[in-house]
Structure 1
Amino acid sequence: MFKVLALYQFRSVKNPNQVVAMIKSAAPSDVCGTLIVAHEGINGTIAGSEASMNVMLDVLNTLGFDQMEYKFSHAIEKPFLRFKVLEKKEIVTIGCDANPCSVVGTYVAPKDWNDLITQPDVLVIDTRNDYEYALGTFSGAVNPNTECFRDFPKYVASIDRKQFKRVAMFCTGGIRCEKASSYMLSEGFEEVYHLKGGILKYLEEVDRSHSLWEGACFVFDRRVALGHQLEITGHKLCFACRHVLSPKDRLVDYQEGVHCRYCINNLTALRRARCIERQKQTEIAQSQDKQHIGA
Structure 2
Amino acid sequence: MKAYQTLLYYCYSHIQDAEQYTKNHLNFCKSLGLTGRIIIADEGINGTVSGKADACKAYMDYIYADGRFNATEFKIDEVDKPSFIKIHCRYKTEIVYSGLKDPSYINPTQETGKHLEPKAFAEMKDRDDVVILDVRSNYEHSMGKFKNAITLDIENFRDFPAMINELAQYKDKKILTYCTGGIKCEKASALLLKEGFKDVYQLHGGIIKYGKETDGKDFDGKCYVFDNRLAVDVNKINPTVVSSCGNCGKTTTKMINCANPECNKHFTQCNECGVTLDGSCSDVCQNHPRKRPYDGTGYYVKVPQPIIKKTIILAQS
TM range (shorter): 0.7 to 0.9
| Matched residue, 2:82 | 78
Paired residues of 2:143 and 2:253 also in contact (CA < 8 A): no
In 2 relative to 1, CA 185–2 (structure 1 residues): closer, same or farther, beyond 3 Å?
same
Structure 2, gaps ≥5 residues long = 237-251, 304-317
Paired residues of 2:6 and 2:82 also in contact (CA < 8 A): no
**C-alpha offsets along residues 90-120 of structure 1, whole Å, 9 cap, x if unaligned?**
0001122221021111001111112221111
Does the alignment pair 1:44 with 2:51? no
Aligned CA-pair RMSD: 2.7
Equivalent-residue separation in structure 2 for 1:77 and 1:256 (angstroms): 29
**C-alpha offsets along residues 135-192 of structure 1, whole Å, 9 cap, x if unaligned?**
1100010111111101111111222346633211000000001111111111121110
Secondary structure of 2:188's match? Answer: helix
Q: Flag the structure with higher helix content.
A: 1
Paired residues of 1:42 and 1:91 also in contact (CA < 8 A): yes
Give the stretch that moved more between structures: 21-30 or 126-135: 21-30
Q: CA deviation at 1:22?
A: 2.6
Secondary structure of 1:223's match? Answer: coil
| Matched residue, 2:205 | 197
Find 1:107's aligned residue among 115, 123, 131. 115
Percent of paired sites with the same residue: 29
In 2 relative to 1, CA 38–270 (structure 1 residues): closer, same or farther, beyond 3 Å?
same
- Number of paired residues? 275
Larger radius of gyration: 2
Equivalent-residue separation in structure 2 for 1:243 and 1:113 (angstroms): 30
**C-alpha offsets along residues 21-63 of structure 1, whole Å, 9 cap, x if unaligned?**
3312322341011111111111010001111111111111122
Paired residues of 2:5 and 2:51 also in contact (CA < 8 A): yes
Q: CA deviation at 1:264?
A: 4.5
Secondary structure of 1:160's match? Answer: helix
| Matched residue, 1:268 | 287
In 2 relative to 1, CA 94–256 (structure 1 residues): closer, same or farther, beyond 3 Å?
farther
In 2 relative to 1, CA 188–234 (structure 1 residues): closer, same or farther, beyond 3 Å?
closer
Q: TM-score, normalised by structure 1?
A: 0.84
- 1:212-291 matches, cutoff 5 A: 212-228=218-234, 235-240=254-259, 241-245=264-268, 249-250=270-271, 252-255=272-275, 258-259=278-279, 262-264=281-283, 266-272=285-291, 275-276=292-293, 279=295
Paired residues of 2:130 and 2:174 also in contact (CA < 8 A): yes
Q: CA deviation at 1:270?
A: 1.5
Find 1:34's aligned residue among 23, 37, 51. 37
